[in-house]
A and B are shown apart, each in its own frame.
Chain A
Amino acid sequence: MRYTTQVPKLVTRQFDDEIILANFDTGIYYSLIGTAADIWLGLKSGASTEEIATAFAKSSAQTVTTEQIATFIDELVTENIIAPHEGNPGREPWSIQFGNPPSPPTLDRFDDLRDLLLLDPVHDVSEGGWPLKAPDVD
Chain B
Amino acid sequence: MSTEAQFLHAIDRVFEHRLASPAVDCFARSGSYRLRLCFTDKKLGAEFLPSFLREEAGPADLEIGFLTGAESELSSLVPYPPTAHRTIALDDCFAFWFPGDLPMLYLLNRKSRRALIWMPAGAAPDWIASRPALPIMYAFSVSSPWVVLHAAAVGLKDRFLLLAGDGRVGKTTAALSCARAGWTYAGDDYVYANTTSRKIEPLYCSARLRADMAKAFPDLADVATSVSNSDGEARYELRLAGQLTPDKIRGGSLAAILLPRRQGAALPQFSPARRIDALSALNTSMMLAQLGWLDVMINKAAMTVGLAPVFFVDTGQEPHAIPDAFAEFLDRLE
A51 CB → nearest B CB, Å: 28
A11-B2 contact given A110-B276, A110-B280, A131-B79, CB 8 Å threshold: no
Q: Which residue of A lies closest to B277 (CB)?
A: A31
- Among B171-179, B211-219, B295-303, the one that faces the other chain is B295-303
Interface residues of A in 15-61 (CB under 8 A from B): 15, 18, 20, 22, 24, 27, 29, 31, 33
The reply to whether A13 and B303 form a contact with Cβ atoms under 8 Å apart is: yes
At the interface, is chain B mostly helix, strand, loop or mixed?
helix
Given the complex of chains A and B, what is the CA–CA distance between A88 and B90 in angstroms? 39
Per-position 1/0 for B1-19, Cβ under 8 A of A: 0111010000000000000
Among A112, A130, A133, point to the contact of B280 (Cβ < 8 A).
A112
Given the complex of chains A and B, what is the CA–CA distance between A64 and B282 in angstroms? 34
A130-B294 contact given A11-B299, A13-B306, A31-B276, CB 8 Å threshold: no
Verify if B164 is at the interface (C-beta below 8 Å from A): no
Interface residues of B in 299-330 (CB under 8 A from A): 299, 301-303, 305-306
Among B6, B90, B295, chain A packs the most CB atoms within 10 A around the CB of B295
The reply to whether B88 and A18 form a contact with Cβ atoms under 8 Å apart is: no
A127-B298 contact given A29-B279, A122-B289, CB 8 Å threshold: no
B280: chain A residues at CB < 8 Å are 110, 112-113
Per-position 1/0 for A2-16, Cβ under 8 A of B: 000000010101010
Number of interface residues of A (CB under 8 A): 29
Given the complex of chains A and B, what is the CA–CA distance between A110 and B80 in angstroms? 35
B230 CB → nearest A CB, Å: 14
A22: chain B residues at CB < 8 Å are 279, 298-299, 301-302
Verify if A117 is at the interface (C-beta below 8 Å from B): yes
Q: What class of interface size applies to chain B in its complex with A?
A: 35 or more
Verify if B198 is at the interface (C-beta below 8 Å from A): no
Among A112, A123, A126, chain B packs the most CB atoms within 10 A around the CB of A123
Q: Which residue of A lies closest to B280 (CB)?
A: A110
Verify if B286 is at the interface (C-beta below 8 Å from A): yes
The reply to whether B3 and A125 form a contact with Cβ atoms under 8 Å apart is: no
A116-B283 contact given A11-B299, A29-B276, CB 8 Å threshold: yes
Verify if A93 is at the interface (C-beta below 8 Å from B): no
Q: Which residue of B lies closest to A27 (CB)?
A: B294
Among B85, B90, B274, chain A packs the most CB atoms within 10 A around the CB of B274
Among A13, A31, A113, A122, chain B packs the most CB atoms within 10 A around the CB of A113
Q: Which residues of A contact B (CB under 8 A)?
A: 9, 11, 13, 15, 18, 20, 22, 24, 27, 29, 31, 33, 108, 110, 112-113, 116-117, 120, 122-123, 125-127, 129-133
8 pairs of A and B residues whose beta carbons are closest in the complex: A31-B276, A133-B80, A24-B295, A125-B89, A125-B292, A24-B298, A15-B275, A127-B3
In addition to A18-B276, A122-B289, 15 A-B residue pairs with Cβ atoms within 8 Å of each other are: A11-B302, A13-B306, A20-B302, A22-B279, A22-B298, A27-B298, A110-B279, A110-B280, A112-B283, A116-B287, A117-B289, A120-B85, A125-B292, A126-B88, A130-B95
12 residue pairs of the A-B complex, CB under 8 angstroms, read A11-B298, A13-B303, A24-B294, A29-B298, A110-B279, A113-B280, A116-B287, A117-B289, A123-B85, A123-B290, A125-B291, A130-B97
